Amino acid sequence: MTADVPPALIEAEDLTKVFRTGVEEVNAIRGVSISIRAGRFVLLRGRSGSGKTTLLNLLGGLDRPSSGTVKVDGLNLQGMSGARRNRWRRDTAAFVFQALALLPGLTALENVDLPLRIAGIDPRTAARRAREQLERVGLGLRAHHRVFELSGGEQQRVAVARALVKRPIVLFADEPTGELDQGSGATVLQLIGSAVKERRMTAVVTSHDHLANRYADVVYAMADGALHPVERAPAAR
């Protein structure tokens, strides 16, 4: 391997996921294999119901596959106990969910420093890092506003700041621009793209928004639970 080619951070092989509702089976993921190099912005593109959120949850260890394996940085997620997988997610990964999962009774600053406090970082350091991250996403002046006082775009940026403040190795983001206007969506994608470039973080992002294409290093299309690489000319961020 040459020095300028980063190693694979995420290796998934022959993943399937079957959901059962009564006697009916739904094949949400069908034999997906994917290798994601460290320091890449990977986009999973597809319509609602295509399986991209299910795949993201499998790659991030939020769900277990019906068959197949997922390894992240050499660790087999299926071989971990639930407690160990929780610790891995806390220490290594970060997530931006469609529903954001912000705590409405807390301020933007308190939402962002919460994962640092949970990780055992002292309150002063956690608050300082949270303020710095909010400033990076353009919300320094909104740090002490509660979630319900923020616009949808501002809430999304708080969710991204909360994920990035952990300085994760890998970020999993599910439709981070789904409810945003084009300008706010571009801001969120730029924030993720900058973190990938500056920190060599890996990002796996699901989106049906074609605006996301210009920020990604690698694009896959999902349909009916299957994954297909998208051939395209590389675009500069």
Average pLDDT over residues 101-111: 94
Percent of the chain scoring above 90 in pLDDT: 62
Rg value, the chain, Cα: 18
Place of tokens 């790659």: 59
Query: For the packed helices 123-136 and 152-164, what is the interaxial angle rounded to 10 degrees?
Result: 130
User: In the prediction, which pLDDT does 226 show?
Assistant: 95
**Taking 80 as the threshold, does the pLDDT of residue 2 lie above it?**
no
DSSP 114-154: HHHHHTT--HHHHHHHHHHHHHHTT-GGGTTSBGGGS-HHH
Q: Among 7, 64, 13, which Cα is nearest to 227's? A: 13
Count of CB atoms within 10 A of residue 79's CB?
A: 10
3-state secondary structure of 159: helix
Query: pLDDT band for position 91 (50/70/90)?
Result: confident
**Taking 50 as the threshold, does the pLDDT of residue 114 lie above it?**
yes
User: In the prediction, which pLDDT does 6 show?
Assistant: 64
User: In the prediction, which pLDDT does 185 show?
Assistant: 86
Count of CB atoms within 10 A of residue 77's CB?
A: 23
User: In the prediction, which pLDDT does 4 show?
Assistant: 60
- For 41-65+78-229, CATH number out of 3.40.50.450, 2.40.50.100, 3.40.220.10, 3.40.50.300 equals 3.40.50.300
User: In the prediction, which pLDDT does 233 show?
Assistant: 43
Domain boundaries, the chain: 41-65+78-229
Length, in residues, of the chain: 237
| Per-residue pLDDT tens over the stretch 141-194 | 999 999 999 998 899 999 999 999 989 999 999 999 877 888 888 888 999 999
Average pLDDT over residues 49-58: 94
**Taking 70 as the threshold, does the pLDDT of residue 5 lie above it?**
no
Facing residues of 12 across strands?
A: 34, 70
**Taking 80 as the threshold, does the pLDDT of residue 206 lie above it?**
yes
DSSP E strands, the chain: 8-21, 24-37, 41-45, 67-72, 75-76, 93-96, 170-174, 202-207, 218-223, 226-229
Between 6 and 96, name the one with better pLDDT. Answer: 96
**Taking 50 as the threshold, does the pLDDT of residue 236 lie above it?**
no
Strands 170-174 and 24-37: unpaired
Average pLDDT over residues 1-9: 65
Q: Among 149, 173, 179, 148, which Cα is nearest to 161's? A: 173
User: In the prediction, which pLDDT does 183 show?
Assistant: 85
User: In the prediction, which pLDDT does 221 show?
Assistant: 93
